Amino acid sequence: MSDVQTVEPILVMKNVSKSFGAVIALADGSIELYPGEAHALLGENGAGKSTLVKIIAGVYQSDGGTYTYDGKARNFRGPHDSQEAGIAVIYQEPTLFDDLNVAENIYLGRQPLRIGRTINRREMRRQARAIFEQLGVDIDPNRKAKGLSVADQQMVEIAKALSKDARVVVMDEPTAALSPEEVRRLFTVVNNLRERGVAILFISHRLEEVFEICQRVTIMRDGAFVRTDLIGDLTINEIVRSMVGRELGLLFPKTEIRAGGEVLRVERLTREGTFYDISFTVNAGEIVGLSGLVGSGRTEIARAIFGIDRYDAGGVYINGAKLKGGSPLRAMHAGIGFVPEDRRQQGLVMDYGIDHNVALASLRRLSRGLFLFRWAEDKLAADWALRLHLKFGKLSDEANTLSGGNQQKVVLAKWLAGQPKLIIVDEPTRGIDVGTKSEVHRIIDELAQSGVAVLMISSELPEVLGMADRVLVMREGRLAATIDRADATQESVMMASTGQV
């Protein structure tokens, strides 16, 4: 790896462009990938990273520019072509077939055949097992894909790539939904792939990950190439400045607030097998952080409060009144807003415009009887788009045309605009770029100042420590500790999450 420049690049894109109608998704994309390197692709939400990836994969055809792979000019007509040529793309939400087993997913469409052309299942399983062994991953090739964790699904996708001798593996925000241990395992596999000479293109909004596993970085802004450098030649500040084109403000602009009366009370809430005997309150104007390891039951509690999942015992009270469970609509009418963890699937109506999506939680306020004030809806959406630096063409564009991070901003806007009494935010800045993170924090802080009760789930300790007035720590489905802002430190929260107190 010491002298990558003496080898030929495996993939070169120069001045590639792509528009969708009036929206220029990619104005001038360029990148060079060398065998054996992990190359980071960085840029703000909507900078064009995923669009570049989709052109690499043949999902989109570029409007202009050149694309060379393995020494030849390419214009892949579809993902199948690029896969055949040795390019594998691991998307954030993998696309396995639930009802097939793991080995079948890996060898889909090209199973080893026996003489007489029946599929040789034993051989297929043996090869799959061998690949997992090489990767140092423990997954049973016989099990159904259904129910695999996101992390394991990614591993199956990577195994599939290896089984095809992929020479380029692209990972578009692979770590966003992984636990810290799963991220470690992925990084071991990335290094393993590099040693075999595979070129990795790695997209993430977590810069510390990029510093850990990448050797080079390409930065994009507004659909255009900004720079490529060795990672060691850049500081975090330089990277951020190249991404956002300006200096960033304070990351956690927390203001002191005086908490008002109780808004949410959770009493002895229990869902068998998931969480037990959970009691806590959130007051008006207060930000309560719900911390704990991934899988400790945090998201499940939020879902139960909002009525998505049932609970077996205990109760939820809003302003002292018992909220009947089991109905998100009822929870909404009681004044609860919920920004779910998995926003792409749960938070948006993908074929509605940005404007309708933003207004969804405010319909009562924007209408009289059956009449909806379109101008009010437009104004609401326009205001929030501005506040959250939303990158879009027209406000009436469908949500599915937005970049991943911008879709998440729309979900945030929808609930924030709904003027809830209590807002539950699950991983509010996941997938949000560094430039907008502080903006999201500022808005949550403002909400609290205006008297909204906030329950914030976050795996990012600095975010919890920076924002929360009180930190509840979950461990294995139980409330392990409640720590006041003054006593909340990295150590105290970690120790409570892992059971060392």
Positions in the binding site for ligand ATP (CB under 6 A): 20, 23, 25, 43, 45-51, 391-392, 401-406, 433
End-to-end CA distance of the chain: 45
Q: How many whole angstroms separate alpha carbon 285 and alpha carbon 261? A: 9
Q: In this structure, are residues 110 and 149 in contact, taking their beta carbons and an 8 Å threshold?
A: no
**Beta strand 72-73 pairing with 64-69:** antiparallel
Q: Provide the minimum distance between the beta carbon of 203 and Mg ion in the complex, in angstroms, as a whole number.
A: 7
Residue 82 has φ and ψ, to the nearest 5°, of: -70, -35
Among candidates 204, 250, 219, which has minimal Cα distance to 430?
Answer: 204
Query: Of the two residues 53 and 380, which places its CB atom closer to Mg ion in the complex?
Result: 53
Q: In this structure, are residues 33 and 199 in contact, taking their beta carbons and an 8 Å threshold?
A: yes
Q: Provide the minimum distance between the beta carbon of 394 and ligand ATP in the complex, in angstroms, as a whole number.
A: 10
Q: Residue 391 binds what, of ligand ATP, Mg ion, none (CB under 5 to 8 Å, by partner type)?
A: ligand ATP
Q: Provide the minimum distance between the beta carbon of 214 and ligand ATP in the complex, in angstroms, as a whole number.
A: 16
Burial (CB < 10 A; 0-12, 13-18, 19+), residue 129, is middle
> Which single residue is written with the structure tokens 């052109």?
55
Q: Positive or negative CA dihedral for 356, 358, 364, 365?
A: negative
Q: Provide the minimum distance between the beta carbon of 90 and ligand ATP in the complex, in angstroms, as a whole number.
A: 14
Query: Of the two residues 335 and 435, which places its CB atom closer to ligand ATP in the complex?
Result: 435
Three-point CA angle 216, 389, 468, nearest 5°: 85
Query: Of the two residues 67 and 392, which places its CB atom closer to ligand ATP in the complex?
Result: 392
Q: Residue 51 binds what, of Mg ion, ligand ATP, none (CB under 5 to 8 Å, by partner type)?
A: ligand ATP
Query: Of the two residues 401 and 403, which places its CB atom closer to Mg ion in the complex?
Result: 403
Query: Of the two residues 49 and 185, which places its CB atom closer to ligand ATP in the complex?
Result: 49
Q: Residue 45 binds what, of ligand ATP, Mg ion, none (CB under 5 to 8 Å, by partner type)?
A: ligand ATP
Q: Residue 43 binds what, of Mg ion, ligand ATP, none (CB under 5 to 8 Å, by partner type)?
A: ligand ATP
Q: Provide the minimum distance between the beta carbon of 392 and ligand ATP in the complex, in angstroms, as a whole number.
A: 6
Residue showing the smallest CB distance to ligand ATP in the complex: 405
Q: Residue 402 binds what, of ligand ATP, Mg ion, none (CB under 5 to 8 Å, by partner type)?
A: ligand ATP
Q: Report the 10 Å Cβ neighbour count for 73.
A: 9
Task: Report residue 205 as tokens.
Answer: 């909004």
What does each C-alpha distance from 358 to 102, 219, 352 come to in angstroms?
39, 30, 10
Query: Of the two residues 22 and 370, which places its CB atom closer to ligand ATP in the complex?
Result: 22
Q: Residue 47 binds what, of Mg ion, ligand ATP, none (CB under 5 to 8 Å, by partner type)?
A: ligand ATP
Q: Greatest CA span in the chain, whole angstroms?
A: 77
Query: Of the two residues 46 and 297, which places its CB atom closer to ligand ATP in the complex?
Result: 46
Query: Of the two residues 298 and 343, which places its CB atom closer to ligand ATP in the complex?
Result: 343
List the alpha helices (DSSP H) in 20-171.
49-56, 79-85, 102-106, 121-135, 150-163
Q: Residue 46 binds what, of ligand ATP, Mg ion, none (CB under 5 to 8 Å, by partner type)?
A: ligand ATP
Query: Of the two residues 95 and 400, which places its CB atom closer to ligand ATP in the complex?
Result: 400
Q: Residue 221 binds what, of Mg ion, ligand ATP, none (CB under 5 to 8 Å, by partner type)?
A: none
Q: How many whole angstroms separate alpha carbon 489 and alpha carbon 465? A: 7
Q: How many whole angstroms separate alpha carbon 17 and alpha carbon 428? A: 32
Written as one letter, the residue type at 50 is S
Q: Provide the minimum distance between the beta carbon of 464 and ligand ATP in the complex, in angstroms, as a whole number.
A: 23
Q: Residue 105 binds what, of Mg ion, ligand ATP, none (CB under 5 to 8 Å, by partner type)?
A: none
Q: Provide the minimum distance between the beta carbon of 15 and ligand ATP in the complex, in angstroms, as a whole number.
A: 16
Q: For residue 110, how many C-alpha atoms fall within 13 Å in the half-sphere facing its CB?
A: 10
> Which single residue is written with the structure tokens 């595979």?
198
Q: Residue 207 binds what, of Mg ion, ligand ATP, none (CB under 5 to 8 Å, by partner type)?
A: none
Q: Provide the minimum distance between the beta carbon of 338 and Mg ion in the complex, in angstroms, as a whole number.
A: 24
Q: For residue 253, how many C-alpha atoms fall within 13 Å in the half-sphere facing its CB?
A: 17
Q: Provide the minimum distance between the beta carbon of 233 and ligand ATP in the complex, in angstroms, as a whole number.
A: 23
Binding positions for Mg ion, rule: CB under 5 A: 50, 403-404
Query: Of the two residues 76 and 392, which places its CB atom closer to ligand ATP in the complex?
Result: 392
Q: Provide the minimum distance between the beta carbon of 178 and ligand ATP in the complex, in angstroms, as a whole number.
A: 17
